[in-house]
Amino acid sequence: MSKKLKIGLFGFGVVGQGLHDIIRGQDLNLEIVKIAIKNPEKKRSLEAHLFTTNHDEILDNNEINTIVELIDDAEIAYNIVKKALISGKNVVSANKKMIATHLAELVELQEKHNTSLLYEGAVCGSIPIIRNLEEYYDNELLHGISGIFNGSSNYILSKIFNENLEYGVALKQAQDLGFAESNPILDVGGYDPKFKLAIATAHAYGLFIDPNKILNIGIQNLSEHDIKYAREKNFKIKLVPTARKISTKQIVTYVLPKFVKSDDFLYNVENEYNGVTVQAAFADKQFFFGKGAGGHPTGAAVLSDIAALRYDYRYEYKKYHQHNGLVHTDNVNIEVYLRYTHEYTLEKLQVDNIIERFSRNDYKYVIGNVSLKSLLANWNLLEQKDIFIAHTGRYTYTEQQILKVSEEEVIFN
């Protein structure tokens, strides 16, 4: 039998209101006791006595046994979640930056205080990818996980490629619809999908990776030249986070725009929808599809976590506790399309094996190989407005990298 949840809700924005809409009128054996808000002057749709601006009024309330955190400030969210776990309250959160940044500590706190932190709504909205990585793939060998993790950037790209909208117009539409973060660079710059990728990688491979060590290059520098090139090749451009096993013990992670072919699952993922591809050794390739932005889709994921807490569900972090010896690396070469202005860009990035080159006064690009290590070392350069880079989808290996992989296979097989 499920236990009654007495909920303290932090945040009543798009997702908080979406969650309340879903809960209202249903008999779910739960009650929202109090809601913490930032602006007491804002007109609300609920009775005034439900709201407070004092966080401790909720966190110190012994009647409340469950905290649902839905605010957009990662540091404040961290303080809320940490205090709640320490005080014995279970927590549901949708704050991907906070979770990705502090995940190792939050796992320790759960174990120490016998509490549970669930966060399905933090990764890909309505798609239950975390629960699947935890339960369905708990004993699987995963070759890779990638996809479209950000509904806002995908909405923008869809409008550009399908309706010929200009970038700025498409961005404004995404903001008006509530898909974009309050600071749009978090979406279009690849930060939001990077945090989601870090969380997914923890459950897929048992690796807690500092998000600052994951390369994220976004779509904010996309130009009409890049769009025209993609169309001529019958590609679409998507912003794709990737975690990939490149050898027996090595995992690479990055977020990059990618040229997607028509036979790729991601090609037809449009607007605010997300799509996740999991490549497994035994289950082979599987694809998850659903809305990745909006109050109701994310609210539905949050409610799923709340419902799971009624039965004392916890993430077990099985692959993390297996101590499988996997390590995070930047030791891989990828083939990229690189639009640039200055020739020194090619030198700094150490682009080699160039198979295609075009140059005129207003437009230069190459297709060639570059190491992930070099991209990380020149992160600031890649964010300059006259540069756009996209992954073609192909990987290449140096002789030294191939030798390293061969040595690992001898040792671990």
Q: Which residues form the catalytic set?
A: 196
- Cα 380 to Cα 90, 201, 383, 386: the distances in Å are 40, 25, 5, 12
* Separation between Cα atoms, residue 8 and residue 15, nearest integer Å: 15
- The full 3-state SS of 50-87, as one line of letters, equals HEECCHHHHHCCCCCCEEEECCCCHHHHHHHHHHHHHC
Largest CA distance in the chain: 71
Contact status, residue 154 vs residue 271, Cβ threshold 8 Å: yes
Cβ–Cβ under 8 Å, residues 125 and 274: yes
Total residue length of the chain: 413
By 3-state DSSP, what share of the chain in percent is helix, strand and coil, each rounded to 5? 40, 25, 35
Q: Take residue 358 and report the two structure tokens written for it.
A: 């075009």
Strand ranges for 106-159 from DSSP E: 117-118, 142-148
What span, in angstroms and rounded, lies between the C-alpha atoms of 359 and 302? 50
